[in-house]
C-alpha cells in the first residue's frame, strides 16, 4: 500500500551530495532542431473548471496537426501516477508543483513543447517552476473564469462536494487561489470558445518563434 504524503520533503536526501550531473553529447537545442521547433513550457494555471485541460487538449491537437512534438502534463493524470501519494495540503501542493516542473524540464531537454495544465494556486511555486528553466522557455497562461461560473460548470462535481464539506483544502472554497500578476497569456473562457483560445496560444507560439509561422 502506498504512503500518502502530506508535506514536501523537509530535507535533502543524504545521497544527493553524491550525485553529479552527467555531460551529454546531445542537448535540447539539437533535439529541438530535429523536430523543427523551439522547446518551451506552457504552464496553464487557473481554478478547477476554468477550462485548462480542455484548452490544453485542443492546443495539443492543433500542434500535432501542424507536425509538432508535444507532451501534455495534466494535473489530474499526474495525481493518478507520479503524484498519487500527495494530499491537497498547502505543503503537498508545493511538492506537486515541484515534481511537475521537474518533469516538464525533462520534456524541455527532449526538445518538446511541454503543456502543463494544473491549478497550481500559489504564485511563489509558479515562479520557482519558471526559474528552473531559461527566461524565454516558460510561458505562463492564466486560464481565467469567474468562480461562480466554475461552480456552475463543476464538470467533476468537486465544488458541490467541497461546499458540502466533503473535500478539505479545495482551491477557491477553503484554500486560496493566487492569480498571476503578469502572465504571458490571459485567456478568458467566459468570453471565448475553446477553439478561439487555443488559436490565441498557437499564434503566440508563432510570434515567439517557437513554431514556424509569420510573426
28, 37 contact by CB (below 8 A): no
- Annotated active-site residue in 2, 120, 174, 175: 120
Closest CA to 120 of 102, 135, 98, 136: 98
Residue count of the chain, please give it: 215
11 assigned to active site? no
181-187: list long-range contacts, CB under 8 Å, 24+ apart: 181/123, 183/45, 183/140, 183/141, 183/142, 184/139, 184/140, 184/141, 185/139, 185/140, 185/141, 185/142, 186/141, 186/142, 186/144, 187/51, 187/55, 187/141, 187/142, 187/143, 187/144
**What amino acid positions are annotated as catalytic residues?**
120
Amino acid at each position: 500500500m502506498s504512503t500518502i504524503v502530506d508535506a514536501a520533503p523537509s530535507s535533502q536526501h543524504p545521497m544527493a551530495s553524491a550525485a553529479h550531473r552527467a555531460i551529454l553529447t546531445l542537448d535540447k537545442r539539437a533535439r529541438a532542431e530535429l523536430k523543427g521547433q523551439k522547446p518551451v513550457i506552457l504552464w496553464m494555471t487557473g481554478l478547477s473548471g476554468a477550462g485548462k485541460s480542455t484548452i490544453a487538449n485542443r492546443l495539443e491537437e492543433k500542434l500535432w496537426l501542424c507536425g509538432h512534438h508535444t507532451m501534455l502534463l495534466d494535473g489530474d493524470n499526474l495525481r493518478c501516477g507520479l503524484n498519487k501519494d500527495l494530499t491537497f495540503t498547502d505543503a503537498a501542493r508545493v511538492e506537486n508543483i515541484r515534481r511537475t516542473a521537474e518533469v516538464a524540464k525533462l520534456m524541455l531537454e527532449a526538445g518538446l513543447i511541454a503543456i502543463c495544465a494544473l491549478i497550481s494556486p500559489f504564485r511563489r511555486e509558479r515562479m520557482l517552476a519558471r526559474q528552473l528553466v531559461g527566461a524565454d522557455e516558460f510561458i505562463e497562461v492564466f486560464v481565467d473564469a469567474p468562480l461562480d461560473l466554475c461552480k456552475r460548470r463543476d464538470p467533476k462535481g468537486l465544488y458541490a462536494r467541497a461546499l458540502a464539506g466533503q473535500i478539505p483544502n479545495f482551491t477557491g472554497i477553503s484554500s486560496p487561489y493566487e492569480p498571476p500578476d503578469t502572465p504571458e497569456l490571459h485567456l478568458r473562457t467566459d468570453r471565448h470558445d475553446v477553439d478561439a483560445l487555443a488559436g490565441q496560444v498557437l499564434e503566440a507560439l508563432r510570434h515567439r518563434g517557437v513554431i514556424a509561422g509569420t510573426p
